Structure 1
Amino acid sequence: MQDKIALEEHLSTRENGQYWDDSGEAARNGQAYMAEVARRLLDVDDRIEAMDRAGVAVSVLSLTSPGVQGITDPQVASTVARHTNDTIHDTFVHRHPSRFAFFATVAVQDPHAGAVELQRAVTELGAKGALVNGYTDLPDGGVRYLDHPSCEPFWDMAAELGVPVYLHPREPHPGSRGIYEGYESLVGSAWGFGHETATHAVRLMLSGLFDRRPGLQVVLGHLGEALPFLLPRLEHRLHKQREGTGLGSAKRTVTEYFTSNIVLTTSGHFDTKALAYTISTIGSDRVLFSTDYPYETMDEAASWFDSAPLNRNDAARIGRLNAADLLRIPTA
């Protein structure tokens, strides 16, 4: 299929390189693999060539994980976020406006500042929404998830602008990695990403976030971090435990939120049976093609998707039209 839109496509910047230490990832994933990833995160020309080979018309770019979420100083994080958005716009989008769009980098260490930067990035630079790399590190050593009451200004701005927020994974907090001891390669994208991000998404659904802002859309990659499969049991057990503690303030079921406020992408999960089950759970109008470049290759992602047994309408929706509608990207 030609003219696909892909929306979990990562990059880095020279400034981000001062804060991003990939030594742990290199140890877990392999030195040669991460060296090639690091090179491609900064590259423009190879990215366009890969897009052309894979039939990808538009890549929606975002700062690689953990990005500014890993910077503990709120003022520094906000400054880096602003510089990042300017750099992505000037280096990629401005030079190749028909090929690149982007998700804003926002620092929710200071949610008010994050809201202001989201507004600037969307209204002045043309950002299509925001991408947040999981929990946010705080100056006192703690972390903040996006359901925290202090994040309300950020969500208010996303709702006001009518743009989605991509909840992207990051590695579990070091204090939560005991279960991975001796199996360090499971910490990241192979396993830990999914568990961490699925739980974060469930927190959002249980928090009442989508009751307060029913039109808000949150994007999850990797075919929903296993949530299409896990939600029936979660909902069943929550009902059994309905008189328990710590159940949040949600007024609807998790399935209702999942099918109305969550959008999924195929990034890095190229399995036809999983895709079919996901479509049966959430519908083909809420699934979007993505690759997870450069951690995955566009060639592999496109070859899998283009050969998947989808009818023409579903292929068009997932490959292009759903993203165009969500992100307001012209299709002509």
Structure 2
Amino acid sequence: MKLIALEEHFVTPALVGHGASSASIAEPHVWAEASRRLLDLTEERLEGMDAAGLDMQVLSLNSPGIQAETDPAAAVRQATTVNDFLAGVIANHPDRFSGFAALPLQHPKAAADELERAVTQLGLRGALVNAHTQGRYLDDPLLRVVWERAEHLDVPLYLHPANGVDTAHVFSGHPELVGPMWSWGIDTATHVLRLVFGGVFDDFPNAKLLLGHMGEGLPFALWRMDSRWGFHAHHGIELKRGNPSEYLRHNLYVTTSGVCSAPPLLAALLSLGADHILFGTDYPFEDMGTATEFLRNAPISEADRTKIGHRNAELLLGLASNAPVQA
């Protein structure tokens, strides 16, 4: 079975320093090994893909990436450099790699322009955003220009977790809960709901949002959200489609990255449908072989397995060819 994985991380030597905040949440020896693998793109990575039976990785800059940069001008330069680098890696291995652009969201207009350049000139397939950008979330009115460009180009934005702006008091005294095991999922799911209630998908009804880790718990919560939306004070917010779930079922696509378990996969299938689920391994933070074996043996139909394994990625990202796409 052909397999295309969408949440596959890398970093360049110049941008290693931006990952210091992520390093603080991991066991030192685990982070050291992951850091070594992040820097490798064509040797151990390709060997691991072959061993796991993984045909293609859609590469993306590791969290928090460009968004950790405090100087907007530097962020613009870094995004251009890393996207050019990524395009070069893909050009050398077009059958094994595709990629998502990094965006300098500190400068919204430049980010939109870089997204267009990355898609139309470099052949990248959208962009990956690591949580907030210096405290600014994707529902911020200043970032509507990025959503407008993404919708026009018909490419997705992949929302990936990172450390939050602050830490909720409920986590005080329990730093083990801060990070990908728990707090990142809550933060990222909340970020998605900000897009719904912030009107992003009303303004851009054909925008496409990708979310990893089997949807960060959102597929499980759809009925409850709709029920309580009818109960809650709406605070002046009007959802043109009626209920929150209508947006998530239309605009949201999720990947299996980092979740190799049948119950959440079945919940996502029943909640969102097979056309909105794609494959991912979360390399190097999860094992590629575990992820590919999970999908091959998951208790789902062969038709759904094919969609999740590669067909949905080919359709959503236009991966029939890795040639640059003209808008």
Residue pair 1:29, 1:185 contacting (<8 A) in 2 also = no
Moved over 3 A (4+): 25-28
Q: Deviations over 1:220-269 (max 9, x none)?
A: 10010000112222222222124x42x64431221111111000100001
**Match runs of 1:63-78 below 5 Å:** 63-78=61-76
Q: Deviations over 1:151-205 (max 9, x none)?
A: 01111110111101001111222x3343222321221110111000000000101
Matched with 2:217 is 226
Cα distance in 1, alignment partners of residues 237 and 50 from structure 2? 46
Q: Deviations over 1:277-317 (max 9, x none)?
A: 11011111110010000011101111111111121111100
- 3-state SS of 1:125 partner: coil
The amino acid across from 2:188 in the alignment is T
Residue pair 1:26, 1:33 contacting (<8 A) in 2 also = no
Residue pair 1:109, 1:136 contacting (<8 A) in 2 also = yes
Residue pair 1:129, 1:163 contacting (<8 A) in 2 also = yes
Alignment partner of 1:169 is 2:158: no
Alignment partner of 1:105 is 2:102: yes
Number of aligned pairs?
320
Structure 1, 158-167 or 202-211: larger mean CA deviation: 202-211
Please report the RMSD computed on the Cα atoms of aligned residues, expressed in angstroms: 1.5
Cα distance in 2, alignment partners of residues 331 and 158 from structure 1? 19
**Match runs of 1:1-332 below 5 Å:** 2-21=1-20, 25-44=22-41, 45-90=43-88, 92-137=89-134, 143-173=135-165, 175-242=166-233, 244-245=234-235, 248-252=237-241, 253-330=243-320
- 3-state SS of 1:7 partner: strand
Classify 1:26/1:285 alpha carbon distance in 2 versus 1 (closer, same or farther; 3 Å).
same
Structure 1, 63-72 or 178-187: larger mean CA deviation: 178-187
Residue pair 2:130, 2:162 contacting (<8 A) in 1 also = yes
Residue pair 1:207, 1:250 contacting (<8 A) in 2 also = no
Residue pair 1:206, 1:248 contacting (<8 A) in 2 also = yes
Scaled by the length of structure 1, what TM-score is found? 0.93
Residue pair 1:207, 1:249 contacting (<8 A) in 2 also = no
- 3-state SS of 1:109 partner: coil
Classify 1:208/1:28 alpha carbon distance in 2 versus 1 (closer, same or farther; 3 Å).
closer
Identical residues among aligned pairs (%):
41
